[in-house]
């Protein structure tokens, strides 16, 4: 959001645009005083991945939107591993060895090993979005890739290797330009179904060349037709059926980008949120049986406060104000603020960006990956925003922004407000690249949440959380027995003294990424959790009482005791 | 020094445009057009070294080229020469706003308001910046001030609604949106506001009704946007931008009493952007001033074809037609102007004058003059009312109106001389 009608009705924001301030790394440590410190440890990790968008100067629209990444424990060794998506050479691009996705095994101690080859997950398709879920309920995490071109489903063999089962499963999704993707149980039948967002109708013969002030630029997505998304129902036998039409999802064409699934109306089923580029966002409300109604406008999620559509990029959800309801945060294009939608609890959302400060510092940038993360374990969720323009020459015709930019960190002050602490949060926040996907998990199992950012055409940024906080925390892994194995869609409520926190397990979120299956709760000064309540998909509720803080626990469906992991 | 800077910018603009590839022709033309704009600014600076206006113009050119850092440098330099440039503060404010530097934007707009406290739109802009800063307590006062200055500002009312909505004062918000819609019936955003506020007030039927209107208007907006997008041509856009520079430049020549040069620049502006009504109307005004009435009429008609709903085009057609003694054509044009902008006094006043000068329909003329005055109690409207009253045999009324015109504009010789004449006649 920025100013009413600034795009659709041509009420301009003013004659000219924006600049970015940069700061010397040398000064960074002197300014570290926010309480949240994110250090750039990329060089120490052994990660050598370099993203490519497959470009050669022709400026195909797909180049601008690659890619997301996934954080998940592929080998069940207790460490969260990293899977980077990569682009692929587009028409006219010549490369030696084809670029591919890369899986890095977390060896502990901030060392990672490239295991792509041995794990058989080096897809050479054009990577855009990714989700992880145990679709066959065999106890390990499978991976779905939403590509430009045929999609890929990697089944985890449970021995550190994967098998491409796309064909058998029937989920290649034709030859679309992909975007975000999520596993979710739409019909409460105990297995994970698959939502696949599609961006726009593109092929080489539909490519549009355009310019701005004489400089060649990537064309606005409006030059390409919007397309409906795809929804696959899991048949429970390793195959899926395309139910886009029957489910109601296929009736809505949009420029789908980021996606997240969550139960916004507390009715016990999982709904789907799609951030659409250059058009209204979609909210597909689930009737509990896998039929969806698009209610974005009615719910107040489709547009910003002023009723203007955004260039939505990433979508994440979390309870930022600890009122027990899932709120949503959406990133967007330059000259638009990121948008925070507060859940009012009656099926309606309110854009509270301007009253909370959740759009601070974002106006001049194109914003992508995002997340609600309690970085300082103080019991409320902060916001991370990945930034970077999509026009690699934007400075030549608009010096108010730049292709390479810093990311933004907004700290939750605990009273429903956010303040921009990017300048005071360590050298990890001073990296200037063109970020896309961003993902967050506790990579060193030390009780605070770290981050990984995929940067277009460059190396990633690995952010180690070095916040000085000695506050307490708990991390929760769910294990479904009757419902899906990872508890995707289950809601967890943690009560510690006067603090009551809530979260859900998501598969696929933010900007075309996946992370956070192990739920993290910052507890502040509370060293003990009184009660954990899990509402599994389908409605069963389990309660776990008297759990010590500062540990990772597994809660099993039907159980009453939290097991240390 | 400024000229040197200009040359440096020039070299940036033209770099990378030397390819002989014919496919790059538009890029070369774009670079040439940008160079032309800078050269024009440079020429103005040489010709008017004592004026800050060419520096402002150079800043504007840089701004249009996306070089706002340089633009601000020039604008600040111009402000050093003449601190009373409200428009320049406004430009700087918008650059700050685009960067999210809201405090800086407010500072600039405050300076603009210090220069012209009654400037329409500025309080609204300050309110937008305050809203973005979360300084909600100050927003309403700014918007109320905006509405006091521009009572017809639908955007002012809409933003007032937005602020009340965020404060959860839903009834107040609703009233504000309704007012915005009464002023601009197709105000898409205000319908969204109404839909939202009715949802919060648990008025589902009304919410649905407003949602339906919003959806219809939004679909129309999106269609316009799509068409505009499809029709977008970067080269055309750069030509238009250069045309704006020519329009600005010619104003300087006009001010300095060189209408021939102004005419020349306007002709170039029109060649660059034949659909720019500003250029067409400004050139028409120059023709009118130099008694080339048929040419002025032709340009005004051309402008009205480009922008049929621009009442100024019709006013101009009326004025030219009146001078050519084409009564019916003039009458029709003034009526069209009134139809398009019923809240502006100009159409009523000019139609009244037409009747009075033609010696026809005096009672209608008086009624029209009264309406004009009601809308805008300014000197010229008192003057025309005086004329109308006189023609309708109301000498005391005529004298009192004329007296008021003289009071409002004591330096206007025409009013004064007429007033003295009419007093002598008495």
Rounded-to-5 percentages of helix, strand, coil across chain B: 80, 0, 20
The Cα of B34 is separated from the nearest Cα of chain A by a number of Å equal to: 9
Nearby residues of B187 by Cβ (< 8 Å), 6 or more positions away: B154, B158, B180, B181
Paired residues of A504 in beta bridges:
A491
Using CA atoms, how far apart are residues A12 and A16, in angstroms rounded to an integer?
10
Pairing of β A142-148 and β A382-387:
unpaired
The ranges of chain A with pLDDT < 70 are 1-34
Using CA atoms, how far apart are residues A324 and A494, in angstroms rounded to an integer?
10
Cβ pair A257, A277 in contact under 8 A: yes
The Cα of A547 is separated from the nearest Cα of chain B by a number of Å equal to: 40
Q: Which of residues 374-403 of A touch B (CB under 8 A)?
A: 396-400
The length of chain B is 426
Considering only CB atoms, A354 lies closest to which of B68, B91, B131, namely B131
Report CB contact under 8 Å: A18, B100.
Answer: yes
**Using the 8-state DSSP alphabet, how is residue A470 labeled?**
-
Using CA atoms, how far apart are residues A557 and A552, in angstroms rounded to an integer?
16
Nearby residues of A292 by Cβ (< 8 Å), 6 or more positions away: A186, A231, A247, A248, A249, A271, A272, A284, A285, A286
Residues of B in contact with A220 (CB under 8 A): 229
Using CA atoms, how far apart are residues A445 and B98, in angstroms rounded to an integer?
41
A305: contact with B, CB 8 A cutoff:
yes
H/E stretch holding B239? helix B234-255
Considering only CB atoms, A14 lies closest to which of B97, B132, B238, namely B97
- In DSSP notation, A201-265 reads ---GGG---EEETTEEEPPPGGGS--EE-EEEEE-SSS-EEE-HHHHSGGG-EE-EEEEEEE-TT
Paired residues of B203 in beta bridges:
none
Using CA atoms, how far apart are residues B39 and B241, in angstroms rounded to an integer?
14
Task: Take residue A484 and report the two structure tokens written for it.
Answer: 């899906």
The length of chain A is 565
Q: Which of residues 171-200 of B touch A (CB under 8 A)?
A: 188-189, 191-193, 196, 199-200
Nearby residues of A523 by Cβ (< 8 Å), 6 or more positions away: A377, A379, A471, A472, A473, A474, A494, A496, A499, A529, A549
SS3 of A295-319: the string is CHHHHCCCCCCCCCCECCCCEEEEC
Using CA atoms, how far apart are residues B350 and B337, in angstroms rounded to an integer?
10
Task: Take residue B300 and report the two structure tokens written for it.
Answer: 């005004």
Cβ pair A91, A82 in contact under 8 A: no
Cβ pair A352, A332 in contact under 8 A: no
- In DSSP notation, B308-350 reads TT-HHHHHHHHHHHHHTT-HHHHHHHHHHHHHH-TT-HHHHHH
Q: Residue B25: what pLDDT?
A: 74
Task: Take residue B60 and report the two structure tokens written for it.
Answer: 């504007």
A57: contact with B, CB 8 A cutoff:
no
Cβ pair A68, A128 in contact under 8 A: yes
A364: contact with B, CB 8 A cutoff:
yes
Report CB contact under 8 Å: A9, B63.
Answer: no
Given this chain, do its domains B152-226 and B368-426 carry the same CATH topology? yes
The Cα of B385 is separated from the nearest Cα of chain A by a number of Å equal to: 37
A362: contact with B, CB 8 A cutoff:
yes
Chain B's closest residue to A217, CA to CA, is B234
Q: Which of residues 272-301 of A touch B (CB under 8 A)?
A: 279, 297-298, 300
First-to-last alpha carbon distance for chain A, in angstroms, is 43
**Using the 8-state DSSP alphabet, how is residue A559 labeled?**
-
**What is the pLDDT tens value at each position of chain B, 426 positions in all?**
444 444 444 444 434 333 344 444 778 889 999 999 999 999 999 999 999 999 999 999 999 999 999 999 999 999 999 999 999 999 999 999 999 999 999 999 999 999 999 999 999 999 999 999 999 999 999 999 999 999 999 999 999 999 999 999 999 999 999 999 999 999 999 999 999 999 999 999 999 999 999 999 999 999 999 898 888 899 999 999 999 999 999 999 999 999 999 999 999 999 999 999 999 999 999 999 999 999 999 999 999 999 999 999 999 999 999 999 999 999 999 999 999 999 999 999 999 999 999 999 999 999 999 999 999 999 999 999 999 999 999 989 999 999 999 999 999 999 999 998 888 876
H/E stretch holding B259? helix B259-272
Q: Residue B270: what pLDDT?
A: 96
Using CA atoms, how far apart are residues A50 and B393, in angstroms rounded to an integer?
89
Report CB contact under 8 Å: A16, B99.
Answer: no
Report CB contact under 8 Å: A307, B234.
Answer: no
Domains of chain B by residue range: 152-226, 368-426
Cβ pair A315, A329 in contact under 8 A: yes
Q: Residue B230: what pLDDT?
A: 86
Cβ pair A386, A41 in contact under 8 A: no
Q: Residue A452: what pLDDT?
A: 98
Paired residues of A419 in beta bridges:
A411
A44 sits in the region (left: phi over 0; alpha: psi -120 to 50; else beta) called alpha
* Sign of the alpha-carbon dihedral angle for A399, A401, A402, A405: positive
CATH node for B152-226: 1.25.40.10
Q: Residue A300: what pLDDT?
A: 97
Cβ pair A61, A218 in contact under 8 A: yes
Considering only CB atoms, B30 lies closest to which of A214, A298, A363, namely A214
* Cis amide bond preceding A67, omega within 30: yes
Residues of A in contact with B63 (CB under 8 A): 15-16
Report CB contact under 8 Å: B191, A307.
Answer: yes
Fold of the B368-426 domain = 1.25.40
SS3 of B70-137: the string is HHHHHHHHHHHHCCCCHHHHHHHHHHHHHCCCHHHHHHHHHHHHHHCCCCCCHHHHHHHHHHHHCCHH
B236: contact with A, CB 8 A cutoff:
no
Residues of B in contact with A355 (CB under 8 A): 134, 136, 166
ipTM: 0.91
Report CB contact under 8 Å: B214, A399.
Answer: no
């Amino acid at each position: 959001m920025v100013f009413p009608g600034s795009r659709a009705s041509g009420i301009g924001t003013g004659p000219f645009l924006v600049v970015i301030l940069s700061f010397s790394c040398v000064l960074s440590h002197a300014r570290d005083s926010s309480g949240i410190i994110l250090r750039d440890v990329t060089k120490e990790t052994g990660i050598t991945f370099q993203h490519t968008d497959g470009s050669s100067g022709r400026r195909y629209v797909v180049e601008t939107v690659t890619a997301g990444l996934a954080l998940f424990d592929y080998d069940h060794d207790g460490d969260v591993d990293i899977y980077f998506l990569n682009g692929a050479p587009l028409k006219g691009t010549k490369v030696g060895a084809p670029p591919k996705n890369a899986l890095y095994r977390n060896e502990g101690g901030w060392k990672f090993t490239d295991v792509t080859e041995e794990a058989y997950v080096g897809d050479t398709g054009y990577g855009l979005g990714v989700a992880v879920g145990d679709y066959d309920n065999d106890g390990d995490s499978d991976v779905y890739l939403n590509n430009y071109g045929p999609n890929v489903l990697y089944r985890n063999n449970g021995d550190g290797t994967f098998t491409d089962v796309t064909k058998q499963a029937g989920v290649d999704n034709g030859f679309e330009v992909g975007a975000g993707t999520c596993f979710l149980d739409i019909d409460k039948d105990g297995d994970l179904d698959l939502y696949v967002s599609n961006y726009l109708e593109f092929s080489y013969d539909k490519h549009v060349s355009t310019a701005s002030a004489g400089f060649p630029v990537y064309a606005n997505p409006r030059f390409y037709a919007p397309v409906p998304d795809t929804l696959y129902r899991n048949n429970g036998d390793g195959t899926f059926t395309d139910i886009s039409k029957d489910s109601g999802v296929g009736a809505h064409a949009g420029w789908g980008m980021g996606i997240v699934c969550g139960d916004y109306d507390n009715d016990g089923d999982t709904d789907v949120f799609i951030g659409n580029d250059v058009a209204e966002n979609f909210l597909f409300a689930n009737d509990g049986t896998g039929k969806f109604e698009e209610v974005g406008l009615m719910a107040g999620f489709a547009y910003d406060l002023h009723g203007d559509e955004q260039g939505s990029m990433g979508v994440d959800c979390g309870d930022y104000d600890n009122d027990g309801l899932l709120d949503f945060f959406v990133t967007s294009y330059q000259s638009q603020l990121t948008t925070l939608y507060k859940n009012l609890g009656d099926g309606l959302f309110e854009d509270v960006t301007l009253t909370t400060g959740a759009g601070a510092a974002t106006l001049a940038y194109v914003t992508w990956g995002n997340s609600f993360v309690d970085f300082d374990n103080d019991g409320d969720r902060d916001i991370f925003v990945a930034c970077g323009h999509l026009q690699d020459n934007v400075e030549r015709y608009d010096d108010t922004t730049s292709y390479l930019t810093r990311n933004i960190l907004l700290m939750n002050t605990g009273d429903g407000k956010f303040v921009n602490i990017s300048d005071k949060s360590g050298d990890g926040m001073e990296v200037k690249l063109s970020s896309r996907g961003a993902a967050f998990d506790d990579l060193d199992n030390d009780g605070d949440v770290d981050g990984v950012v995929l940067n277009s055409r460059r190396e990633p940024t690995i952010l180690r959380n070095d916040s000085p906080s000695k506050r307490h925390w708990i991390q929760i892994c769910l294990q479904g027995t009757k419902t899906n194995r990872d508890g995707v869609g289950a809601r967890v409520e943690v009560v510690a003294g006067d603090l009551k926190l809530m979260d859900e397990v998501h598969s696929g979120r933010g900007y075309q990424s996946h992370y956070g299956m192990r739920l993290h709760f910052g507890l502040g000064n509370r060293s003990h959790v009184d009660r954990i309540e899990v509402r599994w998909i389908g409605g069963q509720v389990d309660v776990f009482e008297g759990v010590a803080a500062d540990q990772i626990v597994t809660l099993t469906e039907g159980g009453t005791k939290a097991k240390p992991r | 020094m400024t000229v040197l800077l200009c040359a440096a910018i020039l070299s940036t603009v033209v770099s990378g445009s030397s390819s002989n590839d014919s496919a790059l022709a538009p890029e070369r033309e774009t670079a040439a057009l940008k160079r032309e704009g800078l050269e024009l600014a440079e020429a103005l600076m040489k010709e008017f070294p004592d004026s800050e206006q060419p520096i402002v113009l150079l800043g504007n050119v840089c701004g249009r080229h996306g070089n706002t850092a340089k633009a601000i440098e020039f604008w600040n330099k111009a402000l050093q020469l003449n601190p009373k440039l409200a428009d320049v503060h406004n430009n700087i404010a918008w650059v700050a706003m685009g960067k999210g530097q809201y405090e800086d934007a407010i500072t600039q707009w405050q300076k603009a308001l210090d220069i012209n406290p009654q400037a329409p739109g500025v309080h609204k802009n300050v309110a937008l910046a305050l809203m973005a800063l979360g300084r909600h307590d100050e927003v309403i006062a700014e918007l109320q001030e905006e509405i006091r200055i521009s009572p017809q500002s639908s955007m002012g009312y809409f933003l007032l609604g937005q602020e009340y909505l965020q404060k959860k004062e839903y009834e107040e918000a609703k009233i504000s949106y309704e007012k915005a819609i009464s002023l601009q019936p197709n105000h898409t955003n205000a319908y969204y506001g109404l839909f939202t506020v009715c949802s919060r007030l648990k008025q589902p039927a009304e919410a649905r009704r407003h949602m339906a209107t919003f959806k219809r208007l939004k679909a129309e907006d999106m269609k316009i946007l799509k068409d505009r997008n499809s029709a977008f041509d970067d080269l055309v856009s750069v030509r238009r931008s250069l045309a704006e520079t020519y329009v600005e430049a010619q104003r300087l020549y006009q001010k300095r009493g060189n209408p021939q040069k102004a005419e020349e620049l306007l002709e170039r502006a029109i060649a660059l952007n034949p659909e720019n009504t500003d250029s067409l109307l400004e050139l028409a005004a120059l023709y009118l001033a130099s008694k080339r009435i048929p040419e002025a009429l032709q340009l005004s008609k051309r402008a009205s074809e480009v922008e049929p709903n621009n009442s100024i085009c019709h006013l101009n057609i009326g004025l030219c037609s009146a001078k050519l003694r084409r009564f019916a054509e003039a009458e029709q044009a003034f009526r069209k102007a009134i139809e398009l902008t019923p809240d502006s006094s100009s159409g009523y006043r000019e139609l009244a004058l037409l009747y009075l000068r033609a010696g026809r329909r005096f009672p209608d003329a008086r009624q029209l003059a009264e309406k004009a005055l009601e809308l805008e109690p300014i000197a010229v409207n008192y003057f025309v009312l005086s004329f109308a009253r006189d023609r309708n045999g109301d000498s005391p009324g005529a004298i009192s109106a004329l007296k008021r015109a003289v009071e409002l504009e004591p330096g206007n010789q025409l009013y004064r001389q007429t007033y003295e004449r009419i007093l002598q006649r008495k």
